[in-house]
């Protein structure tokens, strides 16, 4: 059913548009005294939602071990080829010797990174995470290539409920002692 | 030893008047610059944001209380803007007519600044306790001078539009010229009742000659005739028509045709860069300031305190200063009204602008004039 809207003809005063102008002025005046919605940037920062894709960082587990095993999956999946890894060996007498590999050098070129998050998705060790760092600036191109030290510094520590390496170590020990798997 | 040239009365007169003129110009230009800041701040408050609040002057910022106050309120922004206009690279496009391109901003700014020479902005009392205006030139035909000289501003706009040799400025110039011509008639006719009032038979004596007749076009006499009742209340239709015409003459929204930023990129000043654009910018705000000052003088009683309440200030130097400050307060609140209306009302369409000027305002002004003519003829003792 079509609804017919009744349009009353304008009165004399309304046809001068003066009452409408005054009404508009009142609206604007009321708005002048409301608080501004502006976020004043360097003093106030925006709230970053969880899952925000900021700069990629490497994380350590709660025991302070580096989680990355330099499998190079992130390097191969990165669309602009921003990641460069040189894999290295873990010495035989280290406590994490069963992991066998750790990165000797790990560089992410932030000038190439597109913050897509594919490296985070593909990492089997959950070692690379895109966290909430969003304002990165530098004075030279070299300073914007984040090396391993900078990446771990930005990354911090993440809680790890799975304890994959400890479980593997425990399983190998149990196997060596002849227990069933 | 007497130095005849330095102490002769002519030289003293010239020196004092030069200082006086420079003072007036400095105050006017400062108010123009801060009017730009006021526009940005007020428009931002209306839009729920914060205006300019980050500009710092190198040393001033570190004074404990004053520095942050100046920064947070953007008070050093006009200085930054002025310096920017001065030092930016001035690019002259290849396709413009050079001579007229450079002439146009001057033609726009000079009339706007010249009109302020006949504006009275205060009152002082001379040795015979007669009231005299504080003005640069107390012309007999003050108001005619203002109307004539501000009409010259049209040429600046039209020349800018034409010499820029490009589509958007051309359209802006054409629209501006048609609009400005249309509203000048309504403006002129709507203030004739003001002259009828200030030169009525019962008027107090004029200020130019002691004991002489009142010159109706003299702005000081118009203000003095409003000691008891402001003309705004007594002739509201004149005031309304004049207000609308002043909005149209200064190219302010809702009559923004010349520089309508959403239609015509920049309108007549699209092709203009740093300092020439600064000229147009300052010319617009100076025009706005002079327009509000003329409205205050004609309809809001100039420096008179309130209708039927006598001035609370004494008849000496202190009183003069207070009258100037009161006048400035009224003018600045009028500038606020200009800015407020700009950010409230949408722009008129071009044919609506023309229809309003010729079909509505002009007949209304003429009918208003006839009404007051008959009124003053029937009641000559008002």
- Distance of residue B98 Cα from the nearest chain A Cα, in angstroms: 42
- Which residues of B are less than 8 Å from A37 in CB distance? 48-49
Task: Break chain B down into helix, strand, coil percent, rounded to 5.
Answer: 65, 5, 35
**pLDDT (tens digit, 9 = 90+) per residue, A72-113?**
999 999 999 999 999 988 888 877 777 888 888 999 999 999
Contact assignment for B345 to A24 by CB distance below 8 Å: yes
pLDDT for position B205 = 60
Q: What is the pLDDT of residue A86?
A: 92
Interface touch B344/A31, C-beta < 8 Å: no
CATH number given to A56-176: 3.30.70.3270
Residue with tokens 């809702």: B254
Cβ separation A24–B344 shorter than 8 A: yes
Task: Identify the band that residue A117 occupies on the pLDDT scale cut at 50, 70 and 90.
Answer: very high
Q: Who contacts B91 (Cβ-Cβ below 8 Å, separation ≥6)?
A: B273
- Preferred mutation among A16, A20, A22, A28 to probe B, highest tally of B CBs within 10 A: A28
Give me the pLDDT at residue B212, please. 60
The shortest C-alpha distance from B51 to chain A (Å) reads 10
Could you tell me which residues come within 8 angstroms of residue B230 by beta carbon, excluding any fewer than 6 positions away? B299, B300, B301, B304, B307
- Between the two ends of chain A, the Cα-to-Cα distance in Å is 74
pLDDT at A49: 92
Please indicate whether residue B258 or residue A9 has the higher confidence score (pLDDT): A9
Instruction: Using CA coordinates, name the residue in chain B closest to A40.
Output: B50
The model's pLDDT over A141-178, given as tens digits with 9 standing for 90+, comes to 999 998 888 888 888 888 888 888 888 888 888 888 87
B370 touches chain A (CB under 8 A): no
Q: Closest partner residue to B343 among A28, A35, A38, by Cβ?
A: A28
ipTM for the predicted complex comes to 0.80
Angle between helices B98-114 and B153-163 (to 10 degrees): 160
Where chain B has pLDDT below 70, the residues are 1-7, 201-214, 259-266, 382
| Dihedral of alpha carbons B318, B321, B322, B323, sign | positive
Nearest CA in chain A to B54: A40
Predicted confidence (pLDDT) at residue A128 exceeds the cutoff of 80: yes
Candidate from B44, B50, B340 with C-beta closest to A28: B340
| A130-149 residues touching B, CB cutoff 8 A | none
CB pairs under 8 A between A and B: 36
Cα distance from A18 to chain B (closest Cα, Å)? 10
Contact B48/A29, CB-based, under 8 Å?
no
Give per-residue pLDDT as tens, B43-62: 999 999 888 888 888 877 77
B244 beta partners: none
Q: What are the structural domain ranges in chain A?
A: 56-176
Residue with tokens 């002519």: B10
Among A21, A32, A35, beta carbon nearest to B345: A21
Contact between residue B268 and residue B95 where contact means Cβ atoms under 8 Å apart: no
**DSSP characters over A44-58:** S-PPPPTT---SEEE
- Among residues B363, B365, B356, B361, which one has the least CA distance to residue B191? B365
Q: What pLDDT was estimated at residue B17? A: 87
CB-count exposure of residue A72 (10 Å: 0-12, 13-18, 19+): middle
Give residue A75's pLDDT. 93
Nearest C-alpha of chain B: how many angstroms from A8? 22
| Contact between B340 and A25 using a beta-carbon 8 Å cutoff | yes
What span, in angstroms and rounded, lies between the C-alpha atoms of B370 and B382?
Answer: 17
Q: Which residues of A touch B343 (CB under 8 A)?
A: 28
Say whether pLDDT at A70 is over 60.
yes
CA closest to B72 among chain A residues: A40
Cis peptide before B254 (omega within 30 of 0): yes
Does A37 contact B48 at a Cβ distance shorter than 8 Å?
Answer: yes
Tell me how close the Cα of A129 comes to any Cα of chain B, in angstroms: 36
Q: Where are the beta strands (DSSP E) in chain A?
A: 56-58, 83-89, 101-109, 128-130, 145-146
Q: How far apart are CA B34 and CA A56, in angstroms?
A: 47
pLDDT tens digit sequence for A37-62? 888 888 888 999 988 999 999 998 88
Distance from CA of B110 to the nearest CA of A (A): 33
Which of A31, A41, A44 to probe by mutation at the B interface, max B CB count within 10 Å? A31
Which residue matches tokens 């008002």? Answer: B382
B10 vs A26, residue with greater confidence: A26
Residues of A in contact with B346 (CB under 8 A): none
Task: Please tell me which of the candidates A29, A34, A40 has its beta carbon nearest to residue B48.
Answer: A34
């Amino acid at each position: 059913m079509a609804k017919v809207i009744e349009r009353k003809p304008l009165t004399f005063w309304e046809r001068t548009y003066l009452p409408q102008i005054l009404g508009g002025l009142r609206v604007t005046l009321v708005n002048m005294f409301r608080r501004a919605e502006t976020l004043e940037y360097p003093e106030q920062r925006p709230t970053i939602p969880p899952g925000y894709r900021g700069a990629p960082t490497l994380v350590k587990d709660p025991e302070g071990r580096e989680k990355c095993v330099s499998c190079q999956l992130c390097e191969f999946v990165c669309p602009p080829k921003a990641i460069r890894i040189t894999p290295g060996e873990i010495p035989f007498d280290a406590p994490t010797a069963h992991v066998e590999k750790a990165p000797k050098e790990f560089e992410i070129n932030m000038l190439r990174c597109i913050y897509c998050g594919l490296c985070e998705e593909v990492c089997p060790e959950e070692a690379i995470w895109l966290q909430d760092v969003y304002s990165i600036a530098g004075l030279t191109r070299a300073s914007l290539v984040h090396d391993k030290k900078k990446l771990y510094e930005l990354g911090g520590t993440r809680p790890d409920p799975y304890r994959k390496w400890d479980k593997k170590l425990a399983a190998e020990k149990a196997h060596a002692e002849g227990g069933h798997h | 030893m007497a130095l005849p040239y330095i102490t002769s009365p002519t030289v003293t007169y010239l020196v004092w008047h030069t200082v006086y003129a420079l003072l007036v110009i400095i105050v006017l230009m400062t108010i123009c610059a801060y009017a730009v800041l006021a526009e940005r701040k007020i428009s931002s408050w209306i839009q729920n944001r914060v205006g300019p609040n980050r500009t710092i002057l190198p040393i001033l910022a570190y004074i404990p209380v004053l520095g942050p106050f100046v920064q947070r309120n953007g008070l050093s922004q006009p200085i930054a803007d002025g310096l920017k206009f001065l030092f930016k690279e001035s690019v002259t496009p290849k396709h413009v007519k050079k001579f007229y391109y450079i002439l146009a901003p001057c033609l726009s700014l000079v009339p706007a600044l010249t009109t302020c020479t006949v504006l009275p902005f205060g009152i002082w009392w001379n040795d015979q306790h007669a009231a005299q205006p504080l003005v640069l030139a107390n012309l007999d035909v003050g108001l005619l001078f203002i109307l004539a000289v501000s009409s010259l501003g049209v040429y600046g706009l039209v020349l800018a539009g034409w010499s820029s040799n490009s589509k958007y400025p051309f359209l802006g110039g054409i629209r501006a010229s048609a609009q400005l011509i249309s509203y000048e008639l309504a403006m002129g006719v709507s203030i004739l009742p003001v002259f009828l009032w200030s030169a009525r038979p019962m008027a107090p004596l004029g200020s130019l000659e002691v004991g002489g007749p009142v010159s109706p076009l003299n702005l000081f006499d118009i203000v003095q005739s409003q000691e008891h009742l402001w003309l705004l209340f007594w002739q509201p239709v004149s005031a309304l028509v004049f207000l609308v015409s002043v909005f149209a003459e200064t190219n302010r929204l809702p009559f923004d045709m010349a520089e309508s930023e959403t239609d015509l990129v920049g309108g007549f000043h699209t092709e203009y860069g740093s300092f020439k654009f600064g000229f147009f910018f300052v010319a617009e705000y100076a025009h706005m300031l002079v327009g509000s000052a003329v409205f205050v003088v004609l309809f809001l009683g100039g420096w008179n305190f309130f209708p039927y309440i006598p001035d609370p200030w004494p008849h000496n130097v202190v009183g003069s200063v207070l009258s100037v400050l009161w006048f400035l307060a009224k003018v600045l609140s009028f500038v606020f009204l200009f800015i407020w209306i700009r950010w409230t009302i949408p722009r008129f369409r071009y044919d609506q602008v023309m229809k309003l000027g010729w079909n509505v305002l002009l007949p209304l002004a003429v009918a208003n004039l006839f009404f007051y003519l008959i009124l003053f003829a029937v009641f000559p003792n008002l």
